[in-house]
Amino acid sequence: MFKRIILVLFLLTTVSQTIYADDVTDSIDEALEAYKEGEYSEAIESLNYATQVIQQKKAGQLSAFLPEPLEGWSVNSRKGSGGAIFGGGSSSSRSYKKGSSSVTVAIAADSPAMQSMMMIFANPMFANSSGGEMQKIKRQKAVVTYDEGRKQGDIKIIVKKRFFVTIEGRHVSRDDLVAYAKGINYKKLSRLP
């Protein structure tokens, strides 16, 4: 009887570890083992891999906040990456198409370059010098740059000093750009861990 209890406990422990093990925890365990053995390059490589996987998971979370296509528009492509945009952080983007018109919406999180973007929002003269104007979209400060003659422009929004949202469009109306910016749930995005 005692042997059966030990066997059941062993199997439960093994199964639970298998269920909860994933690439991140496996890589961290490998890094710790390599570190203890003095294999520092291997430890760094394993930790970098774990970081990339975590950033990819975060990019997947960001994609849930990208807006649905406007009426008459279709999704052209989707991308998510970890560490590839603005020198680090995570990002996700989606492109939309309607005839010759195109719009790309991107959300980046925890980017080291965020500080320089926040300077633009803190001083409207920076926005005005590049032809942009400050505007509020769904209670968020936005820099809107639009060239009526070329029918192209972009909108930049910083959410909670953590998320950088860009909406870029070609052969598109200003109203469509703003509509895509309004399609994002900024309140929920700001609560993302």
Would you give per-residue pLDDT tens digits along the chain (193 residues)?
444 444 444 444 444 344 445 888 898 898 889 889 998 898 889 888 888 877 777 767 888 899 999 999 999 876 655 544 445 678 889 999 999 999 999 999 887 777 777 777 777 777 666 778 889 999 999 999 999 999 999 999 999 988 999 999 999 999 999 999 999 999 999 998 7
State residue 137's pLDDT score: 96
H/E segment holding residue 128: helix 124-129
Asked whether the whole model's pTM tops 0.75, one would answer no
What's residue 85's pLDDT? 46
Give ranges for CATH 3.30.200.100 in the chain: 66-190
Element (H, E) at 105: strand 101-109
**Amino acid letter for position 109:** A
| pLDDT at position 121 | 75
- Residue 176 CB neighbours (<10 A): 20
Phi and psi based region of residue 110 (left: phi greater than 0; alpha: psi -120 to 50; beta: remaining): left
Q: CA 54 → CA 25, 28, 33, 60, 82, distances in Å?
A: 10, 12, 20, 10, 8
Contact 82, 58 (CB under 8 A): yes
Determine the distance from the C-alpha atom of residue 122 to the mean position of all C-alpha atoms in its chain, rounded to a whole number.
23
CATH 3.30.420.40 fits 66-190, yes or no: no
Report phi then psi at 169, rounded to 5. -140, 150
